[in-house]
Amino acid sequence: ILIVLSSVCLSFGPSVCLFNILITFMATCLFNNVIAESIEISAPTLHKQSNINYRAVTFNRILHYIWPKSMQHVIKNSASLYHSFSQNLNPETELKRYFGARAVLGDQRPRHRNRQFHRSTWMTNPKDSWPRFSRPGISMSLLESKDGIQYFAFEHSREYQQVQFKFLDAVESMDPNNIVALLQLNPYHIDSLLQLSDVCRIQEDQEMARDLIERALYSFECAFHPLFSLTSGTCRLDYLRPENRAFYLALYKHMMFLEKRGCPRTALEYCRLILSLDPDSDPLCMLLLIDFLMLRSREYQSLLQLYQDWEEHKNLSQLPNFAFSTALCHFHLSQQEDMDLDESQKYRHKADQMLQNALIMFPGVLIPLLDLCSVQPDATVSSHAFFGPRSQIGQPPALAELTALYVGRTYNLWREAAVMLWLEECVKEVLRQVDASNPLVEDCQNKRKQRYQSAPRNIHRHVLLSEIKEATSNLPLEVTTQPVMGFDPLPPLDSVMSYTRPERQNVGASNESTLSLFFRSLLPNFNLQVSLLEEVARAGQELNQEVNRLMVAMRDMLANIRFQEPPREDNPYRDEEEWD
């Protein structure tokens, strides 16, 4: 009907052109609504089958990680935190800004002859050296759409479940050769790629480790649901489901490779992506990392906006990383040359105030920070009771874990001469307030005693993944004495299992080979009887050359082996058309 009205309007000439445009616009909107409803109806109706628990996870009171209903409007108002552009997920975009397209791409020319067909993806660029891709048995389904938020879940086919069981057997054997053999037959098995990447990284083969993670991300992206978006900020994946966790871990490991590669802006986009997948529970604790990446990429206004939007409901000022990073952010803004003098002084005054408050609230940060910066503190500072050894010994366990994590991660940001001079001025002012018996000092001391007694599980998980030795040494015994696997560190206690592993006979540690014992000692949670410690040490010394030979053979196998390709179909573009 609208199209007929539009045609009639055109017959009357340009005098009703505006009305014609309005009719066309209404028709377009109506068409889009019909298409959207059709997609919603045709999507897999898994609402009834889903037993997913969407309740907000209540965390330890020290961090107040509780999302009240009023937090929903904060998410909508700060949607820019989650939303990003797809091209920003490609590190080449950032490298081109730094060095230019010619330096990044070189003389690359597209080669169409004998070129494998790859689906277009955003997170990684498939390489010709990779084996031909065939669906490994991973798919994604839409569970529910509610209040503009879409909840998805990865699913494993029967065949993939059998491969997963074999992978768990290979991990328990503690022999990387078994994982390599499994990967030969299943070149896109996710957990095998993640676990083997860790082995390569331990042996300092960063290139191979990064390549395996990229292959895992490519396999995930080829399994995306048509409605799943990386950049909208409205798609959720519940970490309680084991099938979803590997995607989180692959994104995290890829993000850390990007940060070490010198692409902090791209790493920040992946940090936002991980946070957007489950902002309620934040299973990998991206709030302990996002401030660092924003400072590294000089996204100062974005950091202040995040702090302003979430402080009231998340109490970000109670986290040492936000208390110090927001102060450092204000200082850098005050140093910008193109800023008005009054505005610069306003930022500097705010920076001084926030840093002094951070030092009063978290005095245990100062001395370890100066030690890592190779700065000798003044005698009046190191000998003062407020910043002296008592500030370290008297810290609650959770606070010691958080402060060590922040210091070990961000100490390089404080090494600048101007920053160190500013820190020195604020430390002197804090000591003056302490000696003057400022009521704020006693108030912060009482807060430290009442809070930070025990950290929630997601913080321990973040510390394990960070591999920052200053922080991992502060993990509690209940974490270090339990098995921790790299492909699923500290799984949630209330996991939602869609399938279970068949029971098998356990093999005792006494039957382990020397090589298996050595690889167990590489795990962060390794704990063995004292009587066997010397045996482990001898095993490490004797098998050092054997491990190196194993890594060389593994790299050669992954680089040179030719996987058997499935027969090509008549339509080579079929994978591009299929998307379910």
Q: How far apart are CA 181 and CA 401, in angstroms?
A: 39
**Average of per-residue pLDDT across 238-250:** 97
Give per-residue pLDDT as tens, 192-201. 999 999 989 9
> What's the chain's average pLDDT?
78
Confidence of residue 1 (pLDDT cuts 50, 70, 90): very low
**Max alpha carbon distance in the chain (Å)?**
98
Both structure tokens of 539: 């095993």
Q: Position of tokens 């997963």?
A: 164
138-146 and 149-156: which strand pairing? Answer: antiparallel
User: 378's torsion region: left (phi>0), alpha (psi -120 to 50) or beta?
Assistant: beta
Q: What is the pLDDT of residue 122?
A: 80
Residue whose token pair is 């277009």 = 120
Q: Give the span between the Cα atoms of 387 and 363, in whole angstroms.
A: 6
State yes or no: pLDDT of 575 exceeds 50: no
Return the pLDDT at 29.
42
Q: Is residue 233 part of a domain?
A: no
**535 lies in some domain:** yes
Residue 4's domain comprises: 1-42
Q: Which residue has the tokens 């001469």?
A: 417
Beta strands in 50-148 (DSSP E): 138-146
558 residue type, one letter: L
Confidence of residue 82 (pLDDT cuts 50, 70, 90): low
Over range 338-364, report the average pLDDT. 95
Q: How confident is the model at residue 550 (pLDDT cuts 50, 70, 90)?
A: low
Return the amino acid letter for 195. Q
**Which CB contacts under 8 angstroms, 24+ apart, belong to 194-202?**
194/246, 194/249, 194/250, 194/253, 194/486, 194/487, 195/167, 195/171, 195/486, 195/487, 196/554, 197/253, 198/486, 199/551, 199/554, 200/551, 200/554, 200/555, 202/522
**Is the Cβ–Cβ distance between 257 and 210 less than 8 Å?**
yes
Asked if residue 482 is part of any domain, the answer here is: no
Q: What is the pLDDT of residues 489-508, one digit of tens each?
A: 999 999 999 999 887 665 44
- Region 410-428: mean pLDDT is 97
Examine residue 320 and state whether it is found in any structural domain, yes or no: no
CA distance linking residue 288 with residue 258, whole number of Å: 18
**More confident call, 87 vs 29:** 87
Domain assignment present for residue 539? The answer is: yes
**Residues 262-280, mean pLDDT to the nearest whole number:** 93
For the ranges 55-59, 143-147, 371-375, 395-399, the lowest mean pLDDT is seen at 55-59
**Confidence at residue 101, expressed as pLDDT on a 0 to 100 scale:** 61
Number of domains the chain is built from: 2
Phi, psi of 236, rounded to the nearest 5 degrees: -120, 145
pLDDT band of residue 98 (cuts 50, 70, 90) is low
pLDDT tens figures, 203-224: 999 999 999 999 999 999 999 9
What is the helix (H) or strand (E) element at residue 8, kind and residue range? helix 2-11
Residue 228 CB burial class (10 angstroms; 0-12, 13-18, ≥19): middle
Which residues pair with residue 235 across a beta bridge? Answer: 150
Please choose, from the candidates 168, 246, 174, the residue with its C-alpha nearest in 3D space to the C-alpha of residue 212.
246
pLDDT tens track for 36-63: 333 333 333 333 333 333 333 333 434 4
The mean per-residue pLDDT over the stretch 118-122 comes to: 68
Q: Is 6 inside a domain boundary?
A: yes
Check residue 306 and give its pLDDT: 94
Asked if residue 322 is part of any domain, the answer here is no
Residue 319 domain-assigned (yes or no)? no
Give the model's confidence band at 136: pLDDT under 50 very low, under 70 low, under 90 confident, else very high. confident
Closest C-alpha to 546, from 511, 507, 516: 516
Q: Quick check: 19 pLDDT over 70?
A: no
Tell me if 188 sits within 8 A of 215, measured CB to CB.
yes
Alpha carbon of residue 103 to chain centroid: 29
Cα-Cα end-to-end distance for the chain = 34
Q: 488 pairs with which residues across the strands?
A: 485
| pLDDT for res 307 | 96
The residue with tokens 């030092």 is 359
Q: What is the token pair recorded at 80?
A: 């820019």
Q: Which residue has the higher pLDDT, 163 or 23?
A: 163
